[in-house]
Every structure is written in C-alpha cells, then in structure tokens.
Amino acid sequence: MPTYQEESASVIELDAATPFASGDNRLCFRHPHHPDRCIKVLKEGRARSLQASSPLYKRGMREAYFDDNRREYRAYQQPAIVQGSVPYDCHIARCFGWVKTTRGDGLVTDFVANSEGLPAQTLEAYVGLHGLDEPVRKAVTEFCKFLRESLVLTKNLMPHNLVLAEDGSNLRLVLIDGLGLSTVLPLAKHIDYFARRHVEKRIQWFNFRLEWEVGDRSVSWRDTEKRFRFQGVPSTYRLEE
C-alpha cells in the first residue's frame, strides 16, 4: 500500500498557529485545510544544532541528514509500506507528502483524534493513569501482531510515540513517530530474515519498556534498559526453511 506523495505549491501560514505537540526536534500543527491531518515542521536551527553536536565522523554529513522530517519521509518508502501486502494505515499514521509553510517544509501525516476531536491520548499517558489494563493489553497484542505480519520497520517503540485511537469500545495503537531504521547497515529493509529479527527485537524491547512504565520506577530507565536481552525470534515467527 503506497504512501500519498502529493506536494502543495501554496505556502501555509503557521507563524501565528499554536502547535498541539512539541518534541525535541519538531513542532506539530493541525492542518488548517484538512483537520484530519497534521503538519510536522523542524524547529528552527535544530538540524544545524544536531549536526554540530554529533560525533566527529557524522559532522561531514549534509545538514539535511539531521532533519527528522526527511528521515521520516524516507522511512515511509520502505518496502513493507510501499510494496507490502498488509495494509499499514490502521496502525501507522499515513503520510501525505510535503507542504510549504512559513516555518519551512512541512511533512503531512494523519492527525489521530479522540472522540472529542482532540489529539488522541498517548500510550505513555494512558498507562500512567490506568496501567496495563485489559483494553490496552489487547491493543498492544494487536499492534505487535501487525508488526510481525507486515514487517514494517520501526525504531525503538517509545510509549509517547504511540497514541490510542478509539474504535467504539476498543482501543487501537497508532504509531505517529519513530518509523524506520537507526542501524548503519539497512539489511532489514531487503532481507526477511533480518527484518523478522529487527521487528521481534523491537517488540520485546517494547514490552520490557511497558513493564518498567507500570512498575515502581525506583531504578531509572537508563539503568533498567541495560538489563534488556533480546531472546531471539520465537519459532512461531521464523521463516520456514
């Protein structure tokens, strides 16, 4: 299922707009012409700052290399999304391409709303209030099943990068950030064996992180993460010889 790759020539005014979300590197705005979409723009000077603070061997890279929007757009071009047989848009925010804004180039993706039309709650916020209750455990199971079937490649699945869409009385996890690979050699993009290992490692890491989220958190996540050990791909999900 391909991504939408339309590009608008008109400039969208965002200078007076208030972002509904702000990350380390980007601001997220509701699209003024499409309320079911959002526009992500890089914070001013952020790519340059990341380049300057990067390891010496990366400083020779072009500034665009440090642009999260460019990285995310490339991640949407991965084979599992562009050529995959499993529809991705139930669990991954769709990408609609680029628009020009008064804050620079903007990447347009789905805006996931709750029943009141406001930004959907993040998984991090939900488990902070309700823990890993039955509805969210079911949502996590379905999301992990989707990853195993589609082999969509993601970075580590941070709970604040996942939101909960409401399907009647059921919850559905949607990834809104963190798509793609952070590895140097992108073998997982081209070889199923490595894709399955990559996906399974991210799933195990995700569940490990969730258990920490609902624990007493007396040990920091940085120290807790050091205890994470990948258990390999279960035989159920291995490729048949």
What integer is the mean pLDDT of 1-28? 82
For 1-111, CATH number? Answer: 3.30.200
pLDDT average, residue stretch 72-86: 93
User: How does pLDDT run across 179-218, given as a tens digit for each residue?
Assistant: 999 877 789 999 999 999 999 999 999 999 999 999 999 9
pLDDT at 162 over 80: yes
Look over the chain and give the mean of its residue pLDDT values, rounded to a whole number: 91
Model pLDDT, residue 57: 66
8: confidence class by pLDDT, cuts 50, 70, 90:
low
- The per-residue pLDDT for range 134-145, each reduced to its tens digit, is 999 999 999 999
| Per-residue confidence (pLDDT) for residue 239, from 0 to 100 | 43
CA distance 71 to 164: 24
Beta bridge partners of 105: 100
- Is the Cβ–Cβ distance between 77 and 3 less than 8 Å? yes
175/92 Cα distance (integer angstroms): 5
